[in-house]
Homo-oligomer: A and B are copies of this chain.
Amino acid sequence: MKRLSDIGEDALIRKLLKGFPTGELHTGPGDDCAVVDPGRGRLRLLKTDAIVEGVHFLPEAPASKVGWKAAARVLSDFAAMGGQPEYLMVTVALAADTPVKWVEGLYRGFRRCLEKHGGTLAGGETTSVPKGSAAVISVAGEGSVGRRELVLRSGGKPGDVLAVTGRLGGSIRGRHLSFSPRLAEGQWLGKMGARAMMDLSDGLAMDLPRLAAAGSSGFELEAGLVPRSRGCSLKEALSDGEDYELLVAIQPRKWQRISDEWPEDFAMLTRIGLLTESGGKLDGGWEHFSGRVASSGRPSN
């Protein structure tokens, strides 16, 4: 019998969503957010995401940081579409012996994140899990984006410049609980006409092939250019994951202007490679990248 551990998340989601009608959606499952077109005005972005104790945070993590992370992950997905947060809802599934103070801390962190980055809490729900079960914090949210500012994961074309915000790797040392979603950067890139974008949650080594595949492209990564967090090896920068930085594809003719006008108070933007016709190549010679590109097909969000 096939179990979830035998099948990747991308393949699973593809399998599960097969046959679901998505006709009414502007953009269905597979991007960082689903996109709904209300007919006029801004497009609406829909997103759901969950973090799990023992998987995305340790039991001893400060509750307020867990709350921050739960909110910031969803905000990062809005950023990746060029959008802004509007309404968020949080569902907390916790054991009955959880201290009330812990849940209060969680909400405090959640609130701080919205106060800093935008968004209104529209609903909260609590439910219990059996004793000994991991806590699950699920966040669902709605954002919005101007029609001309929307950036899909699938918009990249061969020749586009690939760039990332910030520095990659080493998130596990603490940043994964306190990162800033790149909302201003994402919105600005949307306005400037970036062609494809996603946020880096599983690491560049997993996510870059997804972005390329979503636009039916290949890629060339110049490993020496990848901006690494202090003390991180290239391998860590590519594979640690949970960077929550933006990976963006930009038309060559727009790159110079975007690079020149990049606001000083933004996280830095670094060119790291190119989209190509096909295949995946890292100049360090990580041949298995090619395999990943070939098999990744429709990306998960």
Contacts and interface: CB of A to CB of B under 8 A. Distances in A.
A29 B126 CA distance: 12
A130 interface: yes
Given A97-B3, A99-B3, A28 B127 contact: no
A244 interface: no
B123 A129 contact: no
Contacts of A126: 4, 9, 12-13, 16
Contacts of A121: 17, 20, 22, 29
A192 to B, nearest CB: 27
Given A2-B100, A96-B4, A100-B3, A55 B127 contact: yes
B301 A123 contact: yes
Nearest to A41: B38
Interface of A: 1-7, 9, 12-13, 15-17, 19-25, 28-29, 33-34, 36, 38, 41, 46-56, 86-87, 89-91, 93-101, 103-104, 107, 111, 120-130, 132-134, 136, 138, 140, 142, 301
Given A3-B99, A20-B121, A46-B122, 6 more contacts: A1-B99, A16-B126, A20-B107, A28-B122, A34-B87, A50-B91
